[in-house]
Amino acid sequence: MPDPLPPDFRWGVATSAYQIEGATTADGRGPSIWDTFTHDGDHVADGTTGDVACDHYRRYREDVALLADLGVNAYRFSLAWPRIQPSGTGVGNPDGLAFYDRLVDSLLERGIDPVATLYHWDLPLTLQAAGGWTARETAYRFADYAAIVSAALGDRVRLWITLNEPAIHTIYGHFWGMHAPGLQLFDDPFPVAHHQLLGHGLAVAALRADSAAPVAIANNYSPAWAVGPDGERGSATDEDRAAADAYDAFHNRLYTDPLLLCRYPDGLHGFSGADRLAGENDLVRPGDLATISTWLDALGVNYYNPAGIGAPSWPGPLPYDMRLIEGFPTTYFGWPVVPDGLRDLLVSLRQRYAHVLPDMYVTESGCSYEDVPGPDGIFEDEDRIAYLSGHVDAVRAAVAAGVPVRGYFVWSLLDNFEWTEGFTKRFGLVHVDFATQRRTPKASYAWYRALIRA
Ligand code: IFM
């Protein structure tokens, strides 16, 4: 059977600035919310920070060589906003911009398309002090930042991603408070969501002022599976299914319907504060939805696993309970491995947004495993190979079913700083010894290289 993937399919890997760069005070970089969050309190499992991480800021040439050897034709990275605007406003910091200039040029020299994400959660601290994403002003500051980046790199970046996973940033960072900035806005998390989406829409226009490259967003999609208390779909009740619909509205549709359908989704009535998304008011102002739904070139899909959802068992702030899904192998994170979930997700996005769905990219797909080296020092990460192989097959199946997927990005090139898990969860195709910064490609790296070559 012929391969359904187009010949110009983008095979890539993805990273983000705070997770790999380190050098958090170098060359005028200002502090971000993740710098203070990791330094204050005990938010991170192993007590670590991203101060050094993979030291990519200084070792980027070595990492670009790894990319070239891997054979990817695209590399998704993020820019640290506080490197570009150390206090979140004003002119661009030349030294910060120069780093990304060098990175982009070295990628292009190796024939690798730079795919640049503007925001992967590292808000400049001064903007947080002014309200962060709870404040409408932050959306406008984000557009200013996008304009600076586009003017500097817009001639060479091949695909822009505005935001990474606004759902996770809202829910983990501003609802449960386990991510920076550590807020618990149980009564009304929706301004955080709305202002990120507004910032996205404003940034799309700002990017296009200086760049002809297509623009996308990378959303986290976690398909909602109604399951019974035993973790089986077969034992789900109508109440569990209603809870799953609420989860889907809150986690998935909230960040896609406004972009592609120019409206907020149904199904949010069980969430405190959601009435503010219905109609125009001091939060959703006239013209906001038109801005948010500014025409998009591509939709980025970050997929890891479906979410098991049941009816709420306690009167908490959410109208659903998270439940374990039974019957599937799990990663070291405990996440169920469900490759077919990716195919089903891509097909369902195609169905829901049939007439408006732009090109799609799987902008993140990956897994953490323990990755113990063999006696020869080789990391035979067969679990990761099986995981990735299944997910690539799922993409092939979706494309064969007519879904316009144009690329697949493995999360991640390197083991890196996994937020509240610190360095305890490894997602890389390349092992990093964080004491020595030695990089050692794992068996999955060789597997991915062979796949791309084939
Ligand atoms: O490491 C994260 C990344 O920053 C965002 N998407 C999920 C990854 C794995 O948890």
Token readout for 256 is 């896609």
What is the rounded average pLDDT of the residues 420-445? Answer: 98
Annotated active-site residue 165? The verdict is: yes
Nearest to 344 by CA among 216, 217, 225, 219: 225
Question: What digits encode the pLDDT tens for the residues 361-378?
Answer: 999 999 999 999 999 999
Question: What digits encode the pLDDT tens for the residues 83-118?
Answer: 999 999 999 999 999 999 999 999 999 999 999 999
Q: Is residue 189 part of a domain?
A: yes
Domain that holds residue 103: 10-453
Residue 6 · residue 65 · CB < 8 Å: no
Give the distance (Å) from ligand 1 centre to CA of residue 14.
10
Total count of domains within the chain = 1
pLDDT of residue 126: 98
Annotated active-site residue 232? The verdict is: no
pLDDT of residue 190: 98
Question: What digits encode the pLDDT tens for the residues 124-168?
Answer: 999 999 999 999 999 999 999 999 999 999 999 999 999 999 999
State the SS3 of the chain: CCCCCCCCCEEEEECCHHHHCCCCCHHHCCCEHHHHHHHCCCCCCCCCCCCCCCCHHHHHHHHHHHHHHHCCCEEEEECCHHHHCCCCCCCCCHHHHHHHHHHHHHHHHCCCEEEEEEECCCCEHHHHHCCHHHCCHHHHHHHHHHHHHHHHHCCCCCEEEEEECHHHHHHHHHCCCCCCCCCCCCCCCHHHHHHHHHHHHHHHHHHHHHCCCCEEEEEEECCEEECCCCCCHHHCCHHHHHHHHHHHHHHHHHHCHHHHHCCCCCCCCCCCCHHHHCCCCCCCCCCHHHHHCCCCCEEEEEECCCEEEECCCCCCCCCCEEECCCCCCECCCCCECCHHHHHHHHHHHHHHCCCCCCEEEEEEECCCCCCCCCCCCCCCCHHHHHHHHHHHHHHHHHHHCCCCEEEEEEECCECCCCHHHCCCCCCCCEEEECCCCEEEECHHHHHHHHHHHC
CATH number at residue 140: 3.20.20.80
Residue 41's pLDDT band (boundaries 50, 70, 90)?
Answer: confident
Q: Is residue 341 part of a domain?
A: yes
Give the distance (Å) from ligand 1 centre to CA of residue 418.
7
What is the rounded average pLDDT of the residues 387-394? Answer: 98
Q: Is residue 309 part of a domain?
A: yes
Q: Is residue 303 part of a domain?
A: yes
Catalytic residue chosen out of the listed positions 62, 137, 165, 280: 165
Atom of ligand 1 nearest to the CA of 412: 1
> Which of 364, 413, 426, 427 should be mutated for ligand 1, with most atoms under 8 A from CB?
364
Q: Is residue 231 part of a domain?
A: yes
Q: Is residue 5 part of a domain?
A: no
Residue 188's pLDDT band (boundaries 50, 70, 90)?
Answer: very high
pLDDT higher than 80, residue 291: yes
Pocket lining for ligand 1, CB < 6 angstroms: 16, 19, 165, 302, 364, 411, 418, 427
